[in-house]
Amino acid sequence: MVSDIAAKFPDSKIDWLVEEDYVPLVKLHLGVERIIPIALRRWRKSIFSSLTWKELKNCIVEIRKYRYDLIIDSQGLIKSAIFARLAKGVRCGFGPRYSREKLAGMSYDIGIGVHQEQHMLERCRKLASLALNYQITDKPDYGLITKKTAVLEKKNVIIFCSSAQSKKLWPTGDWIRLCKFLSSNGFTCQFTWGNPDEYAICKHIISASSGELLPNMPINDIAAQINRSCLVVGLDTGLLHLATALEVPTIAIFGASDPIKTGPQGNGIIKICGSKNHFPSSEEVESAIAAVSKVIN
């Protein structure tokens, strides 16, 4: 969306309200003028703290600092709609029949109809294009660092085997078989983690196969690590989508969510294994890796 708007309106200034953990990711896009951090996840854990209310007040001051020509809420949630209402300017988002939460869709000054059957990336791009009256003509441009600026470590494969949603998890036994397959083909598996549970899962897979456990890193450092890798294999998570945005060859493992609506999209090599309510076997993922390896080697 930011790349589309910046391309159509080169003199535009775009501010972005984003959860604090993802500020380093937004910084990777040069089209963002000002980043306003919000900490809803952390604030919920200390709702009665005076520091929480002080930070919230400061956040609202930043949100209301300028009057905007347009405020776009692409999440369609009540919580995002509330903060959109706090900002000064015309607010738009998915209409009541099209937003994820109907009340959110009822709160905007302009409710735009974009059917939910479409892929989420296309829905968001279309939301902005209809709000600003321009046509989408190009492939998605994420505007992030590309492999041209990174030193490629040819045999490193990043593994994203964790998810905040347990229904998205692929069996550990399949990960072990897959890592043995990668190791036998000369690849080094590198694992990322974000909490003790994810750390334990990664350690178990490595101990039963092989691989390297990376240190706990902020998202911008993970992006740099992805950018140096020859391949990413992972579940339907934000980091997997980051890999496709960076145009690193990606193998996506689906089984709970619908890849038709939320599958990774980009200009690089992408192979999707599995579908909604059907996880792939380890052999299916191995075949996908073998096919991609012929292209990247």
| The CA-based dihedral angle spanning residues 63, 67, 71, 75, taken in that order and rounded to the nearest 10 degrees | 10
DSSP state of 252: E
pLDDT, mean of residues 254-272: 92
Domains and CATH numbers, the chain: 2-132 (3.40.50.2000), 147-296 (3.40.50.2000)
Q: Could you tell me what percent of the chain has a pLDDT over 70?
A: 96
Number of other residues whose CB lies within 10 A of the CB of residue 196: 8
Measured N-to-C along each axis, helices 219-227 and 238-245 cross at an angle, to the nearest 10 degrees, of 50
pTM exceeds 0.75 for this model: yes
Residue 61 has phi, psi (to 5 degrees) of: -60, -45
Summarised one tens digit per residue, pLDDT across range 18-45 is 999 899 889 989 899 999 999 999 999 9
pLDDT, mean of residues 40-69: 95
